Structure 1
């Protein structure tokens, strides 16, 4: 007997010093992906690249039993104030090393060696899955279409989140 689709309650956080609701293209891409896959968008926010503000929002979502997954976009690079990994990794109970590894492997086909500058990462905190994607729309599409779409679907085999 085939498993039924179970929608996941997902919170979405854009991390950027310059994005607003009007020009947050990556947030819009992920929002559409989440909704088109029939998941629920539990919350969506934009925050500046400040590790304490990032942690405050994500910690609130981790403590919310109605939020099952968190996706962030932005702040994973190596320049300036990019600090998403430093802000989020400390909150993990367990890191999902394979997420960042697979993301970079898939990205290599599109951006070649530039993928080494991506610090995409995933983990689990208090039973909530957390995935941090780069800030480009292309990277968000890659992360969703090639990894998260299947892993957040209970019907995916041999295993899923």
Structure 2
């Protein structure tokens, strides 16, 4: 069995993938499919996958369903984290967080800076916890 940091056994987790988009479908959602492929390649399970439009109420509702589902350990969302008018994923996630994990967004932007330089300031990647479920919101591109 794989080890993490040479100390702990690998623990597979069940991850739900949420794409936030007004235009994508499951068939043409490249970002969501990339997440699914990487999750499975890393030895984890994709517990669910869905797409919702860029609307706070729809995002909050879907998060609520997955937070209540004991078979979902983690939710990873893609899309809606930029700075345009329709990018509201961080605001929706903030409504459900019991605890925010501010270091995630900071680390994400630092890693992104290595590749895209100052364009990383447009990212509002965020993470938090609600109901024992870890929630991550990533850019769609």
- Output the TM-score relative to the length of structure 2: 0.93
1:105 equivalent in alignment to 2:110: yes
Cα separation, 1, equivalents of 2:107 and 2:63? 23
1:51 equivalent in alignment to 2:45: no
Q: Identify unmatched segments of 5+ residues in structure 1.
A: 137-161
Partner residue in 2 for 1:134: 139
**CA positional deviation for 1:13:** 0.1
Partner residue in 1 for 2:85: 80
Q: Identify unmatched segments of 5+ residues in structure 2.
A: 1-5
Cα separation, 1, equivalents of 2:89 and 2:7? 38
Partner residue in 2 for 1:66: 71
- Determine which of 102, 105, 128 is the counterpart of 1:123: 128
Residue by residue over 1:39-64, the C-alpha shift from the partner in whole angstroms, topping out at 9 and shown as x without a partner, is 11100001110110110000110111
1:42 partner SS: strand
Coordinate RMSD, CA, aligned:
1.1
1:34 partner SS: helix
- Output the TM-score relative to the length of structure 1: 0.82
What does 1:31-42 align with in structure 2 at a 5 Å threshold? Answer: 31-42=36-47
Q: Which has the higher helix share?
A: 1
Q: Which has the higher strand share?
A: 2
Residue by residue over 1:24-81, the C-alpha shift from the partner in whole angstroms, topping out at 9 and shown as x without a partner, is 1100100000111111110000111011011000011011111110000000001121
Cα separation, 2, equivalents of 1:60 and 1:111? 35
1:65 partner SS: coil
2:136 partner SS: strand
